[in-house]
Amino acid sequence: MIHPIAFAALLAGLCAQLLKVLIETVRTRRSSVLRFFDNGGMPSSHTALVTVLTIGVARDVGVQSPLFAVTLLFSLYFVFEAAGLRQEVGNQARLLNDLVDELRHTHHVDPRRLKELVGHTWGEVVGGFVCGLVVAAIAYR
């Protein structure tokens, strides 16, 4: 049987992914079900998941425990990677895709485009944090 903290954290990640589908569907006015399987975007499922995980560990073993310290540091690192490094990878993919588009027109080649939405903005991270807080409030009450 899955531990309640793991279940709540996975539920937060799934909720964030579902919210991405809803937000994208409303924004574009067309069904975006495949958005569920993408990373990047609003809200950050990475942040939602680690927020619920960290709150659950704090609640179960206390903020003075070594396990909480490890979980908190892991979570912060995870969020900064999703927003920092992976956002920069997305920026580089956009630049390379612009070059690919130019090659397509000038040299009649058809190389594969890179995925551009791989990281999170800080707004998306905040959205994931709020999503995680809501799931934690429901799951841990």
Domain boundaries, the chain: 4-139
Residue 98 above 90 pLDDT?
no
Structure token pair of residue 92: 């580089």
Q: Please report which confidence band the pLDDT of residue 78 belongs to, taking 50, 70 and 90 as the band edges.
A: confident
The single residue listed with the structure tokens 């990640």 is 13
Instruction: State pTM to two decimals.
Output: 0.78
Residue 21 above 70 pLDDT?
yes
Decide: 124 and 41 in contact? Cβ < 8 Å: yes
CB-count exposure of residue 27 (10 Å: 0-12, 13-18, 19+): exposed
- For residue 49, the model assigns a pLDDT of 97
- What number is the average pLDDT over the span 57-61? 97
Q: Which of 74, 123, 114, 112 is nearest to 90 (CA)?
A: 114
- For residue 41, the model assigns a pLDDT of 79
Residue 65 above 70 pLDDT?
yes
- For residue 13, the model assigns a pLDDT of 96
